[in-house]
C-alpha cells in the first residue's frame, strides 16, 4: 500500500474535562510502529496506555495531534470509514474472551466475516484455517463452554486472525488465565509474530508477559517514559 510506517502518532493528546477538572490522558505523544514488530505497552494505572490503545484501535479519537495508519490520516476519516479500517486491517484480543457461549469455535470465527459479506464457503474455509494456526482445528465444533480458558483465548486469537489483519491489538490477553496458560498464549503470539510476521501491540502490566515482546514502551503521566528494544527469543 505504502512505504509509510504501519502506525504513527504525531503529538497526540487526549484530554478529558476542562479547567481544574482537566485530565491529560495523553500529552503530546510521538510514536512509530513498523510492520512486523512485537511491541509491549506498559505503565501504571492512569499512565495513558489504555487510552493510547483505544486510539490505535480506532475505538477513540485524539483531542489534538494526528494518527496515521499506513500513511492515512485517521483523523480525516468519518465513523463508517474508521469502522471499515477496523474491519479490514485490525484484529483485537481482550482480557475477556468475548466469545458467544452457545456457538461453536468455528461459528465465532465466522461472525466477523459475515460483516464482510463473504460467502458461507469462504467463511468456513477461513475459520478452519485460523483455528489450525492456533492449534485448535480439532475443537472447531466445540462451544465455548466446552473449552478451557486457554483454549477460549486461542479461539479469540484465531478470531482476530481470521480477517488477516495488518495488526493485532492485545489488551491484557492473559489477565483471566493462570501462569501456565498465560505463557502458553504468549508463546503462541510470539510464534505468530516470528513465523507469520504479524504485527502485535500488547498492553500489559506484567513484566514477565512484556518480556515476550521485542520492544517495550512505558507510559507515565500521559507521556512515553521509555522506549526500549529488548530481546529476540521467548523467555525460558
Question: What are residue 81's phi and psi, to 5 degrees?
Answer: -70, -40
Closest C-alpha to 105, from 57, 141, 64, 150: 141
Closest C-alpha to 2, from 74, 90, 71: 71
pLDDT profile of the chain (236 residues), mean per 10: 85 94 95 97 93 94 97 95 92 90 94 88 96 95 94 94 95 90 93 94 93 96 94 54
CA 8 from chain center: how many Å? 16
- Kind of pairing, strands 215-220 and 223-229? antiparallel
Looking at residue 116, its pLDDT comes to: 83
DSSP per residue over the chain, as a string? Answer: --SS-SEEEEEEEEEES-GGG-EEEEEEEEEEE-TT-EEEEE-STTSSHHHHHHHHTTSS--SEEEEEETTEEGGGS-HHHHHHHHHHHEEEEESS----TTSBHHHHHHHHHHTTT--HHHHHHHHHHHHHHTT-GGGTT-BGGGS-HHHHHHHHHHHHHTT--SEEEEESTTTTS-HHHHHHHHHHHHHHHHHH--EEEEE-S-HHHHTTSSEEEEEETTEEEEEEE--SS---
Looking at residue 234, its pLDDT comes to: 53
End-to-end CA distance of the chain: 38
For residue 227, the tally of other CB atoms under 10 A from its CB is 13
Looking at residue 1, its pLDDT comes to: 46
- pTM for this prediction: 0.91
Angle, helices 179-196/149-161, rounded to nearest 10 degrees: 20
Looking at residue 2, its pLDDT comes to: 56
Looking at residue 96, its pLDDT comes to: 86
What class, spelled out in words, does domain 7-229 have in CATH? alpha beta
Looking at residue 55, its pLDDT comes to: 96
Amino acid at each position: 500500500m505504502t512505504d509509510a510506517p504501519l502506525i504513527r502518532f504525531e503529538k497526540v493528546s487526549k484530554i478529558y474535562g476542562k479547567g481544574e477538572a482537566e485530565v491529560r490522558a495523553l500529552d503530546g505523544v510521538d510514536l512509530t510502529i513498523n510492520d512486523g514488530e512485537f511491541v509491549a505497552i506498559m505503565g501504571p494505572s492512569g499512565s495513558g496506555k489504555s487510552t493510547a490503545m483505544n486510539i490505535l484501535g480506532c475505538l477513540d479519537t485524539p483531542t489534538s495531534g494526528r494518527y496515521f495508519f499506513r500513511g492515512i490520516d485517521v483523523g480525516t476519516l468519518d465513523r463508517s470509514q474508521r469502522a471499515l479500517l477496523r474491519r479490514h486491517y485490525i484484529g483485537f484480543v481482550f482480557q475477556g474472551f468475548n466469545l458467544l457461549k452457545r456457538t461453536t469455535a468455528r461459528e465465532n470465527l465466522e461472525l466477523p466475516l459475515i460483516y464482510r459479506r463473504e460467502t458461507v464457503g469462504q467463511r468456513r474455509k477461513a475459520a478452519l484455517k485460523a483455528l489450525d494456526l492456533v492449534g485448535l482445528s480439532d475443537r472447531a465444533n466445540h462451544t465455548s463452554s466446552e473449552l478451557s480458558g486457554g483454549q477460549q483465548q486461542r479461539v479469540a486469537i484465531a478470531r482476530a486472525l481470521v480477517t488477516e489483519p495488518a495488526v493485532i491489538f492485545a489488551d491484557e490477553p492473559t489477565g483471566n488465565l493462570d501462569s501456565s496458560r498465560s505463557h502458553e498464549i504468549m508463546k503462541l503470539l510470539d510464534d505468530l509474530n516470528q513465523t507469520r510476521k504479524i504485527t502485535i501491540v500488547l498492553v500489559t502490566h506484567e513484566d514477565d508477559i512484556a518480556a515476550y515482546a521485542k520492544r517495550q514502551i512505558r507510559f507515565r503521566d500521559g507521556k512515553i517514559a521509555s522506549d526500549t528494544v529488548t530481546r529476540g527469543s521467548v523467555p525460558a
